[in-house]
A and B are shown apart, each in its own frame.
Chain A
């Protein structure tokens, strides 16, 4: 028989998985923190001198490595790249903020996968018989309506934890690109990669808009709370009040931004955007010594991954070996 206490704990676990990533995102990073890790700031260290094309290549290589190699290679890359954030402007702070983002991704992924993952799949992935699994919690039978497996196992948690590193490495690399390159540099690079101009322009508008989204969203939420939303709820519940207020602030923020996006479109169109299939560029970004060095590092990373996969550290083989 399932006791009342067990039911309460089950629901607590459920709420934990849903709410903790939001709590981390809104409480620890905050909307203004998101703006900091998605905006370019002028500075002069290694990453800032690196050609944007190399950083785009880095993101692609990292996604491939994280997908094909054993999970801990993705983890090493995640934390290695994150540690290198200290070289950025306000590097410690950016590392701290991105660290929380990574933590929220890990918790979100683990809680998003582990309760749903069929034990047979986990068994195949880990090359461990289901009979050897350690059950850490048994859900009430009606949780199956949510798509939950009857038991939460240590192995499911472990498998989901591994999966999370496929995302984290890509996130850390992508933020690095956005934080250390101007939109114009990214346009030039994407153009070299033969990405169509309308797609590039959409990305540039997004890069320009994302920090503004956070700023407008933050203002809208603050005004809602200032106007009494959340009543007299204690301060430790503030992230949840913010989360609830955020839902109603989505529409005014989007409307506000769309009004601005229309002007950006007109501004580009009245300056002959898409006059030709391609554009020329005034500011040149030649390859420098740093670019060649980093290209070498990328080649080494790819080679090392191939060797690792050949030695049995690929995704298709048991992760625990």
Chain B
């Protein structure tokens, strides 16, 4: 039986002229697992909202054609009835978990459906067991790591016992360990439910799906079984989708496997030389610091950190390792009433140890994960001028104009930054942060939720700035990004940077700390270095 059947679907958002989605014919069989991918804004979310009934029941617009779930027309079903059939796990667990206690959160759906207490208990216990929440069931949701919180969100959807499960970029905000647990669930439940996984990380999701569907500009441009994906690698590349490098080489070498280790051997046999980036770790030290952070007498961060001029230093590690606390501590952004912070900080020869974030801001720029929060001006131009203008730096217009040009924002100069796309907003924020005349930039998860092309643009911009003497400290879970654009990686565990070195060295053993090596590394690794 077809779990989902779409025919002649055209959806146009209210106030828009161009349809956001146009699908002639698409179906998903019961028990099938689909990877739905495409660039940001390609129409993936619109498609899943048409399947889970959010369109047309919550989001209005002009809907033509038919979407059927288990044979029933979505338009004619009530939203709560759709919710019994389709479960949806969203990208950011912080934004979907609304209860303080884990059990309350899992019970939310069954309570809405007014099940008997016994039935609720059965569903809750099953959801806890399927996702493996037993070890922290008593903890408050506000104190869970991103990965743990995403598992709670997943359990709350499982408790609805849906026949179809949509996972909308379920791993974009969580660490590799949490990602592994989510994919393990997907793997273990492939038989029980139809799954649609929306992911930018094609490499991570591929082992768990049967079919790959690519959406571009509101249309399905590729719909192939996983086995035939290699044939269409160009289509994915043209659509700006991240392709595992081994797929490209497998096709080039005419191999029928995508195992990176097998491909690596073939590459060696053929004498192909894979490009390796030269890491820049020989600059003078521009930042040296030591940070201690305590909460209620418990030390949560105690570490040294040194940055060299022109370096991209990536901090990696599990959720809760202290990465964001480290960055906030360096910026003096931690709440002094909640955290006891002592730091020594020397930047470009100036001792800023006892100085607050206002003074540190002259030397360090900071881009938080929620970068929209820094967009306080009415136009891109005034946003970029903001810092230098307030600091009364002579020639602030010239500085700002140069950055606007560098970040390709000339045509958006007078646009309200909040009206721009995610990638454009991130570029405005970077330009605005750098206009402060700071030469060191701290970035917290800049690739989170960004598609391949945006990540590539970001990485290239960072490298360009490094060549001009800027230094970057980046907290990231994205191993591939760190491998491609980083010079140095620090592995953080329990509040300390316990290992640091060049990516090729760190990825030899990083999996012990929840940091999984990307296939780019595996393809280039010497035999003795290969991760197990």
Q: Give complex CA distance A264, B99 in Å.
A: 11
Residue B529 lies at the interface, judged by CB distance under 8 Å to chain A: no
Interface residues of B (CB under 8 A from A): 52-54, 57-58, 78-80, 82-84, 86-88, 90-92, 94-101, 103-104, 107-117, 120-121, 124, 140, 142, 153, 156-157, 160, 331, 333, 335, 337-338, 357-358, 360-362, 366, 368, 370, 372-377, 386-392, 418, 432-433, 436
Q: Is the CB of A274 within 8 A of B418?
A: no
Mind listing 12 A-B residue pairs with CB under 8 Å?
Answer: A208-B98, A227-B432, A252-B372, A267-B88, A267-B90, A267-B97, A269-B57, A271-B160, A275-B78, A279-B112, A281-B107, A282-B104
Smallest CB separation, A257 vs chain B (Å): 10
Contact (A268, B98) CB under 8 Å given A220-B374, A256-B372: yes
Interface residues of A (CB under 8 A from B): 30, 32-33, 36, 39-40, 42, 93, 182-184, 204-205, 208, 216, 218-220, 222-231, 248-249, 251-253, 255-256, 259-260, 263-276, 278-283
Q: Which residues of B contact A218 (CB under 8 A)?
A: 335
Nearest 4 A-B pairs (CB), nearest first? A226-B361, A275-B80, A228-B390, A267-B96
Which among A205, A216, A275 is the interface contact of B83 at CB below 8 angstroms?
A275
Q: Which residues of B contact A273 (CB under 8 A)?
A: 80, 108, 112
Q: Which residues of A contact B140 (CB under 8 A)?
A: 42
**What residue in chain A is nearest B54 (Cβ atoms)?**
A266
Q: Give complex CA distance A32, B2 in Å.
A: 52
Contact (A281, B111) CB under 8 Å given A219-B333, A226-B357: yes
Q: Give complex CA distance A226, B124 in Å.
A: 46
- Known contacts A182-B100, A220-B376, A253-B373; 8 additional CB pairs below 8 A are A32-B337, A230-B390, A252-B418, A266-B88, A271-B156, A274-B112, A278-B114, A282-B107
Smallest CB separation, A240 vs chain B (Å): 14
Q: Give complex CA distance A199, B373 in Å.
A: 28
Q: Is the CB of B373 within 8 A of A219?
A: yes
Q: Give complex CA distance A93, B372 in Å.
A: 32
Q: Which residues of A contact B110 (CB under 8 A)?
A: 282
Q: Is the CB of B387 within 8 A of A266?
A: no
Smallest CB separation, A159 vs chain B (Å): 36
Q: Is the CB of A223 within 8 A of B366?
A: yes
Smallest CB separation, B157 vs chain A (Å): 7
Contact (A275, B100) CB under 8 Å given A219-B333, A225-B361: no
Q: Is the CB of A223 within 8 A of B121?
A: no
Q: Is the CB of B99 within 8 A of A184?
A: yes
Q: Give complex CA distance A301, B50 in Å.
A: 55
Contact (A32, B392) CB under 8 Å given A204-B98, A256-B373, A263-B96: no
Q: Which residues of A contact B52 (CB under 8 A)?
A: 270
**What residue in chain A is nearest B78 (Cβ atoms)?**
A275
Contact (A283, B107) CB under 8 Å given A183-B99, A225-B357, A266-B58: yes
Q: Is the CB of B104 within 8 A of A283?
A: yes
Contact (A271, B109) CB under 8 Å given A255-B372, A260-B95, A282-B121: yes
Q: Give complex CA distance A276, B84 in Å.
A: 13
Q: Give complex CA distance A273, B113 in Å.
A: 8
Q: Which residues of B contact A278 (CB under 8 A)?
A: 114
Smallest CB separation, B300 vs chain A (Å): 17
Q: Is the CB of A205 within 8 A of B90?
A: no
Q: Is the CB of B373 within 8 A of A280?
A: no
Q: Is the CB of B157 within 8 A of A252?
A: no
Q: Is the CB of A272 within 8 A of B109?
A: yes
Q: Is the CB of B83 within 8 A of A272?
A: yes
Q: Is the CB of A272 within 8 A of B115?
A: no
Contact (A224, B376) CB under 8 Å given A270-B83, A272-B112: yes
Smallest CB separation, B108 vs chain A (Å): 6
Q: Which residues of A contact B357 (CB under 8 A)?
A: 222, 225-226
Q: Is the CB of B418 within 8 A of A255?
A: yes
Contact (A263, B111) CB under 8 Å given A182-B104, A220-B376: no
Q: Give complex CA distance A253, B376 in Å.
A: 9
Q: Which residues of A contact B372 (CB under 8 A)?
A: 252, 255-256, 259
Smallest CB separation, B143 vs chain A (Å): 9
Q: Is the CB of B390 within 8 A of A216?
A: no
Q: Which residues of B contact A280 (CB under 8 A)?
A: 111, 114-117, 120
**What residue in chain B is nearest A277 (Cβ atoms)?**
B114
Q: Is the CB of B99 within 8 A of A252?
A: no
Q: Give complex CA distance A268, B108 in Å.
A: 8
Q: Give complex CA distance A223, B371 in Å.
A: 10
Q: Which residues of B contact A220 (CB under 8 A)?
A: 373-374, 376
Q: Give complex CA distance A228, B86 in Å.
A: 49
Contact (A272, B160) CB under 8 Å given A263-B96, A280-B120, A283-B107: yes
Smallest CB separation, B92 vs chain A (Å): 7
Q: Is the CB of B114 within 8 A of A276?
A: yes
Q: Which residues of B contact A30 (CB under 8 A)?
A: 337
Q: Is the CB of A269 within 8 A of B79?
A: yes
